[in-house]
Chain A
């Protein structure tokens, strides 16, 4: 591939599995618990983080040689907050409906530890192109887990996917519900996300033993 050399594609592909920000780096857990009760919110959050992290990484990387190290965390915070606010304002003016869906996530994006984590760990020490790929990779890795967790929580907790009743209607007892199936109310509360993430980590580590830390 001409566009991406081996190193660049590694930057994108690594965080998807073996260096996943949620399951391996254990970053961004808070938002993974908070908003994965339905699939739609997971997807919206994943896309928002994709944008903020890739653009933010590039900005920080461009500024990396002039940022005073004593106040670098503050600078990072200012960059991500300014980005998120500008996006929010532009959406409010030109895509009001979308902005209403997203406004809940704005605060969550600013405080998402993945963003600060990648700025600090990668963008400060690498060029803008690499930082851009790193941002995309990590945001996708984060998004994949969000979507998997959202899929199981919405399916088992509400019996729906993207709001569509895939298992039948629980009130009028059609589909699976006519056989006596019940939604698991536990799945829609945040602790369930912790358990689903735990299971993903378990599956991932049992498939790839390199990831298991020495006791």
Chain B
């Protein structure tokens, strides 16, 4: 049977059928795979948080190596001793605080409302780590991450990730050569809160100067770098009232 594909009625029917078929196919695939995807995302969060406090499988120089997904749940409950939510200067314990939507919580707190900001406390080798989730924007899309501080407000580790930064340029924020530079930098300048800047004119590619609140920028990724600076500054600032209560000099 030859079909007249030029007829308007045929075109409309074809379009309707196509939308129904493709729509239900995508819905079917999405709902079928959702539990698996949610679990993967939860493991990833745990891996990232542990990475920020130095629990990873990195060897020498090279790539970022997380705790494998098969073990991450056990390691997470071992190293993360308290999960808290911070409101103003008070922190209360809350189960699974790490699953709180950071983007929403930070936005709420920024607009001046009372928000429950997640904070994780980790213990490793007798040391306490305060791990703060961050959220900001890079050049193309969202960037986020975790920063772990000790009670002197010195960075113990960071993890950054992004949704759509340019591969080879802005996407390098999640490479070790960039993230490792943050270790040892302080977010304080004397008694003033300054955050950490990703600076172009840092003239310190080996990052020997840990007193300058600066790390070396990525060539070709100025806007992503500025986004990282702003993300750290704005996110950690919301925790300032609480951090002041735990800070030791």
Contacts and interface: CB of A to CB of B under 8 A. Distances in A.
Q: Are A and B co-members of a single complex?
A: yes
Contacts, number: 89
Nearest to A86: B29
A107 interface: yes
Nearest to A39: B168
B25 A41 contact: no
B40 A93 contact: yes
Q: Is the interface of B mostly helix, strand, loop or mixed?
A: helix
A174 interface: no
B40 A92 contact: yes
Contacts of B26: 82, 85-86
Contacts of A70: 6, 11
Given A37-B167, A68-B14, A69-B5, A171 B29 contact: no
Contacts of B206: 171-172
Contacts of B167: 35, 37-38, 40-41, 104
Interface stretch (B30-38, B79-87, B90-98, B226-234): B30-38
A144 interface: no
Interface string B170-184: 010000000000000
Interface residues of A, number: 38
A36 B171 CA distance: 13
Contacts of A34: 166
Interface in B133-185: 163-169, 171
Interface residues of B, number: 34
A172 B167 CA distance: 25
A68 B11 contact: yes
Nearest to B163: A103
Contact of A93 (B5, B11, B25, B37): B37
A86 B163 CA distance: 18
B18 A75 contact: yes
A68 B14 CA distance: 8
A206 to B, nearest CB: 30
Interface string A137-155: 0000000000000000110
A89 B29 CA distance: 8
Interface in A88-115: 89-90, 92-94, 96, 103-104, 107
A103 B163 CA distance: 8
Contact of B3 (A66, A69, A154, A185): A66
Contacts of B30: 89
Interface in A49-90: 65-71, 74-75, 78, 82, 85-86, 89-90
A188 interface: yes
Interface in B35-53: 36-37, 40, 43-44
A69 B6 contact: yes
A2 to B, nearest CB: 35
A103 B219 CA distance: 23
B38 to A, nearest CB: 10
B227 to A, nearest CB: 16
A189 B11 CA distance: 45
Nearest to B216: A171
B134 to A, nearest CB: 18
Contacts of B3: 65-66
Nearest to B23: A82
A104 B168 CA distance: 12
Nearest to A150: B168
B220 interface: yes
A35 B166 CA distance: 7
A104 B167 CA distance: 8
A150 to B, nearest CB: 8
Interface of A: 34-38, 40-41, 65-71, 74-75, 78, 82, 85-86, 89-90, 92-94, 96, 103-104, 107, 153-154, 158, 163, 171-172, 185, 188-189
12 contacts: A37-B168, A41-B168, A65-B3, A67-B5, A68-B6, A68-B14, A70-B6, A82-B22, A82-B25, A93-B36, A103-B163, A163-B63
Q: For the complex of A and B, list the 3 residue pairs with the smallest distance between their C-beta atoms, beginning with the closest.
A: A37-B168, A41-B167, A38-B168
Given A34-B166, A69-B5, 4 more contacts: A36-B168, A65-B5, A163-B63, A188-B169
